[in-house]
């Protein structure tokens, strides 16, 4: 018998004598396989895929990571998980060290992902059915289940509207409470949360009072139905259907502008519901007073109750919204990436969904690590004209250290990061390397000595001459000037 078998919590472990010891790759594979139960495929692709064990000695394991952020993240978030699983494979280990090797970032890992993290062969199951019916018998009017007043992040800019929506839910569900805000009219620009709030009202009423009939409908759909009903001479049926609801919620009423016939039908619906004390909620991109294509009598009714506006939330609220969306999408992003997104989503929160979906897809399918650089690229791919800022004050660029610059320049010129750091004298390497030095100087404000140290211990005069050469070329050679311009744009500098 050369292997000792023992059972711990129902798992079979085999400890081998030294001559059968696994090599470091096998150890890491075994550790990853064990961790499969604790981390998701996405976490694996983001933080573990490009990591390797470089050394095992003296009771310690050294892990190499492709970026500084990867190493910091493993150290701060996964240290005990990694250690526990390394110890399960090699009980003598009591420390994990991290080292950075930029060349790993360029390695397209040919290694298969361990089975536990292999890409799913079947399409992912969507756990929450995205659309749910609101009222039985009114099955074309749908809301997104995920929108609720609870999942709406409250900041100064939308607090009033949110509180008013809560009051509407309470008064609709509880016959003892008098409806104070009827009708309620929410207005504000595109992507600021109006639909979320009013679908939240519909969903919350349905949850709290399953017997009530709530109707959420977009104006486009409502208008189409009116037109169809008129065409098929079924206006009576249409009216009956709409007038038996407890709460009537109509989104984007600006679409009624200029449509007189359908406005008339809405006017009648309003009067009937209002007369019977039924709750009415409207949302639009402007207040009623600015909906000039809507008749005076309808506009004035829209303004009878409570008007509440929503504005773009501030940085902190945006950050909280990002975090709640990450949770919803089971997406893990480091704090600097969250801040980067919060800084750059400034006008419309609908963009946020796009950006997060795109990040999630690229992490899943291409194994990218979410960094301000990779996310900056996604921002630009969605909107090439956009100016990118890293900090709320818009001062600094996407690069904060030599590693960041090397990653960007290596990607731009398609030369391996190791070559940029090395001492090859080939022209196609020397030129991008000297550009790196120039940007280290201009953007990171590093001294010649510090640059030399980061680039494999080069003499400060070598760095000085290299930078001077690029500065001269930038004035005399249009190609160089173009490269610098494009790189600065990539770095988020205007």
Residues that bind ligand ADP (CB under 6 A): 152-153, 158, 188, 190-196, 313, 321, 324, 349-350, 353
C-beta closer to ligand ADP: residue 174 or 316:
316
User: Would you put residue 277 in left (φ > 0), alpha (ψ -120 to 50) or beta?
Assistant: left
DSSP 252-287: -GGGGTT-HHHHHHHHHHHHHHHHTT-EEEEEESS-
- Residue pair 181/167 in contact (Cβ under 8 Å)? The answer is yes
Is residue 153 reached through a cis peptide bond, with omega within 30 degrees of 0 on the bond before it? Answer: no
Q: Which is nearer to ligand ADP, 24 or 311 (CB)?
A: 311
Enter the tokens of residue 57.
């000695």
Residue 66 binds: one of Mg ion, ligand ADP, none (C-beta under 5 to 8 A by kind): none
In whole angstroms, the minimum distance from the beta carbon of 325 to ligand ADP comes to: 7
Comparing every residue's Cβ against ligand ADP, the nearest one is 193
With CB atoms as reference, the residue minimizing the distance to Mg ion is 195
Q: 228 contacts which partner out of Mg ion, ligand ADP, none, CB within 5 to 8 A by kind?
A: none
Least distance in angstroms from the C-beta of 388 to ligand ADP: 21
115: three-class secondary structure by DSSP: helix
Residue 158 or 172 having the CB closest to ligand ADP: 158
Please, which residue, 196 or 441, has the CB nearer to ligand ADP? 196
Sign of CA dihedral 196, 201, 202, 205: positive
CB of 342 to ligand ADP, least distance (A): 13
Between 36 and 191, CB nearer to ligand ADP: 191
> How many other C-beta atoms lie within 10 A of the C-beta of residue 180?
13
- Please check whether residue 134 is in contact with residue 142, taking contact to mean a CB–CB distance below 8 angstroms: yes
The piece of 66-74, 141-149, 192-200, 232-240 that touches Mg ion (CB under 5 A) is 192-200
Q: Which of 62, 136, 126 is nearest to 93 (CA)?
A: 62
For ligand ADP, the closer of residues 350 and 465 by Cβ is 350
195 binds Mg ion (CB under 5 A): yes
- Judged by beta carbon, residue 177 or residue 190, the one nearer ligand ADP is 190
158 forms part of the interface with Mg ion (CB under 5 A)? no
Alpha carbon 86 to chain centroid, angstroms: 32
Nearer to Mg ion (CB atom), residue 194 or residue 325: 194
Q: Tokens representing 156?
A: 């100064």
Judged by CB under 5 A, the number of residues near Mg ion is: 2
Interface with Mg ion in residues 33-92 (CB under 5 A)? none
Residue 350 binding target from Mg ion, ligand ADP, none, CB below 5 to 8 Å by type: ligand ADP
Q: Are 131 and 142 in contact (CB under 8 A)?
A: yes
Shortest approach of Mg ion to residue 247 CB, angstroms? 18
Closest distance to ligand ADP from the beta carbon of 162 (Å): 8
| Shortest Å distance, C-beta 405 to ligand ADP | 34
Element at 217 (helix H, strand E): strand 214-218
Residues in the chain: 494
108 CB burial (10 A radius; 0-12, 13-18, 19+): exposed
Binding site for Mg ion (CB under 5 A): 194-195
């Amino acid at each position: 018998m050369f292997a000792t078998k023992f059972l711990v919590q129902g798992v079979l472990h085999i400890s081998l004598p030294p001559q059968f010891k696994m090599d470091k790759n096998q150890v890491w594979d075994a550790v990853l396989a064990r961790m499969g139960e604790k981390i998701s495929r996405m976490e694996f692709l983001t933080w573990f895929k490009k990591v390797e064990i470089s050394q095992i000695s003296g009771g310690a394991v050294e892990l190499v990571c492709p970026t500084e952020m990867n190493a910091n993240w493993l150290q701060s978030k996964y240290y005990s998980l990694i250690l526990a699983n390394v110890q399960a494979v090699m009980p003598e280990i009591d420390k994990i060290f991290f080292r950075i090797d930029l060349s790993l970032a360029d390695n397209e890992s040919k290694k298969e992902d361990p089975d536990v993290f292999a890409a799913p062969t079947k399409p992912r199951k969507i756990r929450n059915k995205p659309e749910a019916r609101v009222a039985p018998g009114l099955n074309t009017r749908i809301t997104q289940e995920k929108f609720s007043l609870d999942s709406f992040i409250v900041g100064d800019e939308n607090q009033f509207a949110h509180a008013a929506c809560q009051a509407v839910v309470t008064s609709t569900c509880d016959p003892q409470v008098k409806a104070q805000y009827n009708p309620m009219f929410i207005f504000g620009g595109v992507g600021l949360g109006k639909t979320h709030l009013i679908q939240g009202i519909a969903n919350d009423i349905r949850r709290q009072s399953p017997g009530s009939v709530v109707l959420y409908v977009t104006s486009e759909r409502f208008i189409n139905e009116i037109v169809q009903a008129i065409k098929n001479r079924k206006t009576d049926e249409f009216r009956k259907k709409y007038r038996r609801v407890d709460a009537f919620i109509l989104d984007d009423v600006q679409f009624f502008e200029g449509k007189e016939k359908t406005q008339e039908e809405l006017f009648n619906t309003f009067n009937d519901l209002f007369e019977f004390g039924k709750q009415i909620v409207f949302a639009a991109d402007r207040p009623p007073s600015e909906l000039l294509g809507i008749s005076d009598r309808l506009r004035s009714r829209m303004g009878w109750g409570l008007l509440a506006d929503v504005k773009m939330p501030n940085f902190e609220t945006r950050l909280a919204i990002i975090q709640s969306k990450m949770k919803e999408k089971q997406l893990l992003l480091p704090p600097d990436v969250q801040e980067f997104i919060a800084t750059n989503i400034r006008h419309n929160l609908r963009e946020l969904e796009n950006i997060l979906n795109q990040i999630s897809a690229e992490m899943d399918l291409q194994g990218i690590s979410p960094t301000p650089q990779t996310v900056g690229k996604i921002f630009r791919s969605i909107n090439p004209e956009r100016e990118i800022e890293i900090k709320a004050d818009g001062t600094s660029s996407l690069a904060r250290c030599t590693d960041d610059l090397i990653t960007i320049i290596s990607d731009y010129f398609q030369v391996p990061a190791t070559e940029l750091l090395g001492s090859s004298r080939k022209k196609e390497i020397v030129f991008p390397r000297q550009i790196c030095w120039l940007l280290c100087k201009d953007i990171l404000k590093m001294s010649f000595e510090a640059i030399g140290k980061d680039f494999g211990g080069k003499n400060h005069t070598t760095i000085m001459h290299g930078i001077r050469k690029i500065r001269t070329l930038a004035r005399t050679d249009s190609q160089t000037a173009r490269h610098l311009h494009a790189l600065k744009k990539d770095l988020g500098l205007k």
